[in-house]
Structure 1
Amino acid sequence: MKRLLPFLFLLTAFMAHAQFTTPGTGVKWDLQTLAANSEGVITQVGDHFEMDGILIISATDTIEILSNGTLLFHGLSHIESNGALIVDAPDQMTFSAVDPEAESRWRGIRFYEGHYTYLRNATFEYGGGLKVGNGGTFLMDGCTVRFTYYQSGSTSGSLTSSGAIDITGPATVINSNIYSNQRPAIGTPSNISSPVNIRYNTITGNTTENSNRPQINLGLAGAGNTSYVVGNTIIGDEAFTNAGGIAYSHLLSGAGQVVIDSNTIVNNRYGITLTGSGIDGWIRYNTITDNNTQNNPALGGSGINLTASSSSAYQSVMVTGNLISGNLWGITIIGYPQVNMGNTDPESFNPGLNVFSGNGNEGVTYDLYNNGPVNQFAMGNLWDVEVQDAESIETVVTHQPDDSSLGLVSFMPAAQKVTFTAANNDSEALEGVTITIEGIDPLTTDIEGLANLITMQGQYDFTATIEGYEDFSGSFTLAAEPLQVPITMSEVTYTVSFEVTHGTDPLEDAVVNIDGQEITTGADGIASIDLVPGDYAFEVSLDGYETFTGAVTLVDQDVTVQVTLLETEYTLTFVVTSADNPLEGATIDIAGTSLTTDAAGEATILLVNGSYPYEVTATDHTTATGEAVVSGADLDITVTLTSTVGITEVPGFRIYPNPASSYVRIEGANIQKAELLQLHGMVVRTFENPDANLNLQGLSPGYYFLRLYTDGQIVVRRLMIR
């Protein structure tokens, strides 16, 4: 038994560390192929795969996983890649532990020099992280890294030490979710050039061991190289009070550049820190809020901290457009960094635009603490004071006036807030107005017509534009107090001209109604109005003319509308009678037209305003003449014709004088009745059993008919009265 136990121990150790190396012949395998060829290191168990041992990918071989799935690792198992590892799952490929609670967990994945690694839609959890070696290609996109552990030990510990993603050399991590890892989310060494590209990730609650390590812990980028930390959300867990936000440091010799841009950094021990020499840095447009979890101002709590302890150190940092609020300190500068937080010098121009709010400790506001002998520039910033003047800002900046050994901070001119309010001529808010100021990114108004700008105090010209409106140009002077700038936009208009005629003759005083407005034509027959683009109905009217209605469309140019008005026609109705009965077939000549009466003795014609002579004739009847005057209304005229049937000449019959004046005398006949008629047939005077003289006084001059009834006969004579 004593001889058997050592053998069993060796066998168990061997089985726990089984190893498979791909053949190195350029193979491209997936998990199924690996399971078939890995001599038991990888096996398929139900709907997932398991690894028990070590998989080594040879330099010329590729492991390609293009489907969803799960690979579970037994304790101490891991992958080493000298070749290509490609994971591109449609939804998710998970690399996890068989038993997340086991004392010995899987050690992670190590990528050696020359590797090619592309990871998309993959989750790595409950393992020893991802160790990225120098001299290869590493791209992670849309992945999750969580619950990784750190444990020392070359054969039994985690493969990573600096972070869940432990990078040496260049690497890119984008669009990923990295959280709840024992050490930082991402770490790089301080002694090997490792330019990284970290963009648009969500990084939360890392450094769960609560060590003095930030969630992103970067070292040397290398001479001529730049590390980018852009667009990430970095949120701490208040339970881990020692974990910072972002750190970039050159603790040893070397050089490199770092850009920290547009990140949101919240609830860490500090926000951003740069430490060491040989650093060119740009810290811009970050939101750095409530980084005070340790709540010990002697140990941290800065929104931004810049440290270079040696007078020979080189650290040059440009700080622009950051929102720094709720930290124990706003910006702290320790030692000898040269920091440009805003400078009006054209050769060193920086607009500043950093906004400070609510930074401080022990009841004192600290926006900027220049804790070193170097003079600094901090112009164009919005400080945590009500009035942005030198006296007020001095209360939140610690520098030479507070301690003669410290460098002077030049902070005037400061910034201030200007609010643009855009509206139309009806005072309605305009969304989408673009406001352009030289040297400043364009602004766009919101749904309330507002656009806010924080900029350096001074004089500015601006232009406001929006489609459909005239450009608006203006200027403003920004001083220590906030400023509101009203913008009234006038809609683009085009001219509609109405040319109103009757035939070829222009019509004056024609009224055009359009868009609720009324315009009148001049002597030239033209009326004009300016309107915004659109569709418009209109109406043109003038006394004596038919009303004209129409529509016009304005798009992008002036429009002329030709309108021809027709005179209004009225109905003239003739009623022709004879002996008190309707006379059918009578002819009426008027306005160049001949009308014929119907069975009702009526005939009609449409005429415009005017005077129209007429003549009415009928067979065996007298003729009637007259004048019809049409004046803005329909007109009825009754004409009575006298039958000439039975009218005879009486011998010796005589009427005189003719023309007559005040009387007319009748001789040679026995007259029983006499009637005086107008030419259109109306009886105007009747004489019963008259004597020889008929009284004509009171009658209007003109032509008349004199109808005489004598001894059963009718005699008609034309008579002129003057």
Structure 2
Amino acid sequence: NSGQIYDLYNNTALDINAIGNYWGTNDPTEAENHIFHQPDQSTLGLVSFTPLMEIHPVIESFVFLADENPGLTSDCVGLIDQAQKMIHVVVPATANLESLIPQITLPRETISNPQSGVPANFTEPVTVNVQTPHGESAEYVVTVEVEIESFTVSFIVVDPNGNAVNDAVLDFDGVQLPAGVYVVESVMPGNYPYEIHHPQFATAFGTVLVENANVEVMVQLQALTYSLTFVVSAPGGPIEGATVQLQDFPVQTTDANGQTIFQNLPPGIYGYNISKELFEPVQGSIEIVNQNVTVNVVLESLTGLTKNETCGLVLIPNPANDFVRIEGNPAQRLEVTILTVDGKKLIHQPFEAGQKRQLDLGQLKKGIYQVVIKGEKGSVLRLIKQ
């Protein structure tokens, strides 16, 4: 009836029902002013008119339809807080906030300002006034939030040869994805750490910077690597300065503990050669499978006789106490060095041709020593100190 309020006159003696009608008010007392029936004249029938149809100034729904608003790919429905009279709507970054058309659902005969279906500027919060036909009103504040655009991060995972690895596990920003899932959607701009795990490869680490576009990350997994430790010793203890050659790797020497470590070795079989002056060299091979490996090598001294037939030299006396003489071939110049059995130099003494060749052994403890004599020919003799 176009919002027109009519009075009701029951001019019969019959009781009638007029329940659920709107009488221009939510107050039953005021509504009865529009009804003429038994309370007004005893000969008339009674009109039952309660409960009334009540109309309140409320917004029942608020939405920006995609069909009516360029830049929207789906309808954006507002979240209504009736107690606080607040409406919150999230729209994508592509929305034009300066001209959005809302669809506002109201109770019948209720009006709003701004009106439903009319473009409005929502760059700032907008107050919507709602008014009922009987003059009751309310104000809602509509806030439109622009959703931060999100992006997709995709990983391409390959092995050291560039072949695809389809069963690695991606851990993105602390969230572990199922094996083989390398795509992360709805990622906001920012820096994100990642890890990629696979039992056959070393774990890959990194960070992804997401700014204003989708990101593709290429990750090449590396083979698992291990360490190979050599511990080189002689019967008298560790050997410092022993040379360790491991295939084509740079040569390394042992430290004071007789150790040297080759790092980052992939699984495989490795040949090695260990040498030290005055010791027999040692060759061998070792296989690395799935763990770090330690190789213990004991070098044997190069042992000479008390008398060296080639050089014609002899140590007298041997065993010795305080002194030892080198006899034989007096016409040649000699360089004489006394070492421990593990190669530690203790005494070095040059002798000119014709010079008396006597060495003071007072500083040496009882034991077996190596005597290296360099002249026209080399010689290694064994000396026993009593």
* TM-score, normalised via structure 1 length: 0.25
Q: Which has the larger radius of gyration?
A: 1
The structure whose RCO (Cα within 8 Å, separation 6+) is larger is 2
